[in-house]
Structure 1
Amino acid sequence: MTEATPSLFDSYTLGKITLSNRVVMAPLTRNRAGAGFVPGDLAVEYYAQRASAGLIITEATQISQQGQGYQDTPGIYSEAQVAGWKKITEAVHAKGGRIVAQLWHVGRVSHTSLQPNGGAPVAPSAITAKTKTFVNNSFAETSAPRALELSEIPGLIEDYRRAAANAIKAGFDGVEIHGANGYLIDQFLRDGANKRTDAYGGSIENRARLLIEVMAAVIAEIGAARTGLRLSPVTPANDLSDSNPQVLFNHVVDELEKLHPVYIHVVEGATGGPRDVAPDFSFEELHRRYSGTWIVNNGYDLDLAQTVIAAGKADLIAFGKPFISNPDLVERFKRAAPLNELDRDTLYGGGAKGYIDYPALEPVG
């Protein structure tokens, strides 16, 4: 008897938890945290509405004040923040959902107005990112960063470990380390942003060191079965570049295979942009090097997702913007129903409008 072809709507075992389907809600920054960078009641409703996803990955959540790069993004380093997140995890679990926290340090993609004592953002090297951040309800040029001192790196790794412990305390099913989209870990990986001459710069092995040490620390704290990672090997997001991304990320995945986090979540192409931005890059080669759960993201619709799942090219598919305007995205996919249109004017900041007021389908029968 042959096995049935896998479908997007099959359940899936991820580490020690069971997902009701293979649809993942990708992390989506919405800039609606309250005082103290605490997620509030609107966020409880927002995530609960989307609990039919097989797995929710939260919006990027800073591990420290230094890790913040945009206004009104939530943290997970204070007791009040942990308490705020606990309301969210309880609401999602009450609806049968699963949720992990994405842990974030933006590095140089920040502004002095957000940093402790108005200081410079930190980075592997003192190279300003030619990109913008969102402060005072508008987009602004990023501030010039300073290079992290070698002596500061153990404390940085400790911030990740503590944030992971806080996530479990808040009731999350696990965490995703944000190693993508031009933020701090990604900045260390790339030779376009990392010009260090110490143990964290120069060779590919050295540039990958921070990522591997962060992953090892988090896995030691909460276990590999609750630790995932997001990577974006070829995205130009936030002014990032590398001279040889294939060799770099082949090495990264080989090192991750030894630690064996429960999943790797890969942005295929330019984040939120063309999938074919680097046509010579082989995501299949990365996948072959890793034996855990493989999540793919960027530009997927239902047909492409089903094709990729059926072919065994990925285990789970992450959808971003469609989940903003379609809280019941899984049900819409099942019924092949049309999707709600996205209101781009309410993506960042604001209140309930464009956040918790998108309509769901009427129940069948």
Structure 2
Amino acid sequence: MSLFSPYQKHALHLKNRMVMAPMTRSRTTQPGNIPNAMMATYYAQRASAGLIITEATQISDDSQGYSFTPGVYTSEQQAGWRLVTDAVHQAGGTIFNQLWHVGRVSHPVFQQGQAPMAPSAIKPTDTRVWLVDEQHPDGQMVECSIPREMTQADIDRVVNDFANAAKNSVDAGFDGVEIHGGNGYLIDQFLRTNSNHRVDAYGGAPAKRVRFLIEIVRAVSAKIGADRVGVRLAPFVTFKDMACPEIVETILLASQELEKLGVGYIHLSEADWDDAPQIPESFRIALRKAYSGTIIVAGRYDVIRAEEVMANGYADLVAFGRAFIANPDLPSRLQQQLPLAEFDKGPLFGGGAAGYTDYSNYLD
């Protein structure tokens, strides 16, 4: 099994096993958080990936937590995404749209002045979001505010918003969607005991804490088909104040439920900083036992580690993030063992073509 060999399973028909990981870049057209031609160029440049997963995309006007991130709930946003999907498909690529609701990782400026919603009214400590305003046109990191606890009506509406966003995504030309259930955002907040103190059907035991995720997956699958649905989970990522002693057990339970629902893949987001915890082999074995579908892993992989995790049967596809920013032709560069450019962190969020679509000029 090679990172550069084709992969086919259910709705995935990929030319290689390399995935471009979802990465927030905040380049939308304002007002309206509308995807644009520059974004189409950016993704099309990287269409040699077996699968592209887009930056996280808002499902509604109150699901946002960072400036200039795209939505898929208005006709203008859908038209903008159509530019992207057409460009990627013309370049021979496959692209899924990552759908998110940030929950408590937000600020009232994104909520029409109201408190963000969350499973429980618990503010995350040491958690900030990127905000552009008149006083800070280049953006600033600001502390999250205290959220309000979601009502049943809120929960029902958000489930429906995910389903509608999935349908809008497919109508805009996407090959499928990924539901963002990790990294401290709304679904992840329901999964963890430290952020979910509910005493109703959505809180308490693991089986209750996975309910919100499963309701979303069912609703999305009913709109576009389960085999076109991926789910991102992050049991070992604890930033945004998300340490939970029961999360591994909860994630494995969720994976068993996702197996029953027949989703297209699970995307395991692994911590990627220098002293990050290693994923125990016992967890990888348990995940594969719980879920027989496609597994994607992401977290500072190189070719050797990628092929090792696939050879062991713990993953089928491997996602690359920062390396894809600076190397639009990453698959061929890795396969030919060519030198890689390094990305410039300066223009990571916001800005124009610099550090976004101009990396191809840096390479021979």
Query: TM-score range, shorter-chain basis?
Result: over 0.9
Q: What is the CA-CA distance between 1:300 and the residue it aligns to?
A: 0.4
- On the 8 A contact 2:236/2:277 being kept in 1, the answer is no
Q: Is 1:173 paired with 2:175?
A: yes
Q: What is the CA-CA distance between 1:194 and the residue it aligns to?
A: 0.1
Q: What is the CA-CA distance between 1:275 and the residue it aligns to?
A: 4.5
1:72-91 deviation per Cα after TM superposition (whole angstroms, max 9, x unaligned): 00000000000000110000
Q: Is 1:10 paired with 2:12?
A: no
C-alpha separation between the residues in 1 aligned to 2:363 and 2:122? 52
- On the 8 A contact 2:269/2:297 being kept in 1, the answer is yes
C-alpha separation between the residues in 2 aligned to 1:132 and 1:208? 26
Matches within 5 A, 1:309-324: 309-324=310-325
Q: Is 1:29 paired with 2:24?
A: yes
Provide the secondary structure at the position in 2 that maps to 1:8. Answer: coil
C-alpha separation between the residues in 2 aligned to 1:297 and 1:12? 17
- On the 8 A contact 1:38/1:74 being kept in 2, the answer is yes
- CA change 1:83–1:124 in 2 (3 A) is same
Kindly, what percent of the aligned residue pairs are identical?
49
Find the partner of 2:62 among 58, 66, 81.
66
- Number of positions where the alignment pairs a residue of Structure 1 with one of Structure 2: 356
Provide the secondary structure at the position in 1 that maps to 2:60. Answer: coil
> What's the counterpart of residue 110 of structure 2?
114
Provide the secondary structure at the position in 1 that maps to 2:297. Answer: strand
- On the 8 A contact 2:192/2:246 being kept in 1, the answer is no
1:21-42 deviation per Cα after TM superposition (whole angstroms, max 9, x unaligned): 0000000000111121001111
- CA change 1:121–1:167 in 2 (3 A) is same
- Segments of 4+ moved more than 6 angstroms: 360-363
Q: What is the CA-CA distance between 1:312 and the residue it aligns to?
A: 2.6
Q: What is the CA-CA distance between 1:289 and the residue it aligns to?
A: 1.1
- CA change 1:221–1:204 in 2 (3 A) is same
- On the 8 A contact 1:120/1:144 being kept in 2, the answer is yes
> What's the counterpart of residue 123 of structure 1?
118
1:49-93 deviation per Cα after TM superposition (whole angstroms, max 9, x unaligned): 000000000000010111100000000000000000011000000
Q: Is 1:132 paired with 2:128?
A: yes
Find the partner of 1:49 among 36, 39, 45.
45
RMSD: 1.5
The aligned amino acid for 1:167 is S
The aligned amino acid for 1:21 is N
- CA change 1:251–1:61 in 2 (3 A) is same
TM-score (norm 2): 0.95
Unmatched runs of 5 consecutive residues or more in structure 1: 1-5
C-alpha separation between the residues in 2 aligned to 1:251 and 1:17? 24
Find the partner of 2:14 among 10, 19, 36.
19
1:221-272 deviation per Cα after TM superposition (whole angstroms, max 9, x unaligned): 100111010000111121112122222112111111110101000013x255
- On the 8 A contact 1:61/1:104 being kept in 2, the answer is yes
Find the partner of 2:148 among 136, 146, 149.
146
Matches within 5 A, 1:1-365: 6-35=1-30, 36-115=32-111, 117-130=112-125, 131-136=127-132, 137-268=139-270, 270-272=271-273, 274-276=275-277, 282-359=283-360
C-alpha separation between the residues in 2 aligned to 1:202 and 1:284? 26
Unmatched runs of 5 consecutive residues or more in structure 2: 133-138
C-alpha separation between the residues in 2 aligned to 1:346 and 1:229? 28
- On the 8 A contact 1:275/1:299 being kept in 2, the answer is no
TM-score (norm 1): 0.94
